[in-house]
Amino acid sequence: MKHRKLGKSELQVSVVGLGCNNFGFVANMDVEASRKVIDKAIEVGINFFDTSDSYGTSEEILGEVLGERRKKIVLATKVGAKPKPDGEKSGVSRSYILAEVEESLRRLRTDWLDLYQIHYPDPKTPIEETLRALDDLVKQGKVRYIGCSNFSAAQLNEAQKTVADKKLTSLVSSQDEYSLLARPIERELLPAIERHGMGELPYFPLASGLLTGKYKMGQPAPTGTRLERKQALADKYHTAANLEKVARLEQFATKRGHTLLELAFSWLLARPVVASVIAGATKPEQIEKNAKAAVWELSAEELAEINRITLAGGSAH
């Protein structure tokens, strides 16, 4: 397993990371099912584990299963997306962050977080207030580095300007949806991330499973799959245009002796700004496949051909 430096931090993260939202949240995995996936991830060399305080029991499960191994991994969590009774996200006010970080540390059974990320922008809280709270956590040794997720380029630029003006701890990473079928961040956000010397952490790298090859043109989503169970995701991803691109991408990969999965991971990692591709898993065998997928060194010609396929008819969403 290769490792990359996360932005300007000292963190070395495996190029394939483990997204932990399946543990007790998306897939309602129990401790033992989660343990099999976590054990396999560590066995194959994955050292970057990403969770959130809003992923149900994910933090508790990680805390229970990791034990002493926690010291050998890069542990990341997020704050700001927990739903309040009125349905709104919790936000990232100073008081909320300072209280919630203690809860995350308790659930994860650790004294520090390697990466603490703002899960979503909070329109009700000035970014300086949020960044000062995070800066205090870094100074206290509870958090090593900070990052953000789902920011626009303008929001990211404002945050990093505030960091520079007020001499606060800088954001080292940005976590965003990015895949062969979801490329809007390339317009403004990715250039901003590169300009600020940050690392990009793509989530949904397989477009909710569409880039695994199990969904075919003219066929319904297979029973039990995420796109069969969740209509909102199906409406977003399971479209004729996407299925046509998937068919062409699969043909492209097969012709060169690779799988669609290998193409999905390797294409993201062809960008030096991408530090670790965050992929979830519900079974150990998925972990093995994901870990082995980041092996294809794509040529300039191959990357150009992939652009022709995925950007056909405009920017892919």
Active site residues: 55
Angle between helices 31-43 and 58-66 (to 10 degrees): 60
Residues 130, 200: Cα–Cα separation, whole Å: 21
> How far lies 143's CA from each of 117, 204, 205, 251, in Å?
10, 25, 27, 45
Burial class (CB in 10 A: 0-12, 13-18, 19+), 111: exposed
Radius of gyration of the chain (CA): 19
- How far apart CA 157 and CA 234 sit, in angstroms, is 33
With 0-12 / 13-18 / 19 or more C-beta atoms within 10 angstroms meaning exposed / middle / buried, residue 87 is exposed
Which string of b and e fits 75-84 if b means at least 16 CB within 10 Å? Answer: bbbbbbbbee
- C-alpha 211/C-alpha 232 separation (Å) is 17
Q: Give the residue from 296, 297, 298, 294 showing the smallest Cα distance to 45.
A: 294
Q: Which two tokens stand for residue 138?
A: 């870094």
Q: Which two tokens stand for residue 106?
A: 């308790």
Classified as helix, coil or strand, 182 is: strand
Amino acid at 64: E
> Do residues 277 and 242 lie in contact, with contact meaning Cβ atoms separated by under 8 Å?
no
Q: Which two tokens stand for residue 289?
A: 């496949």
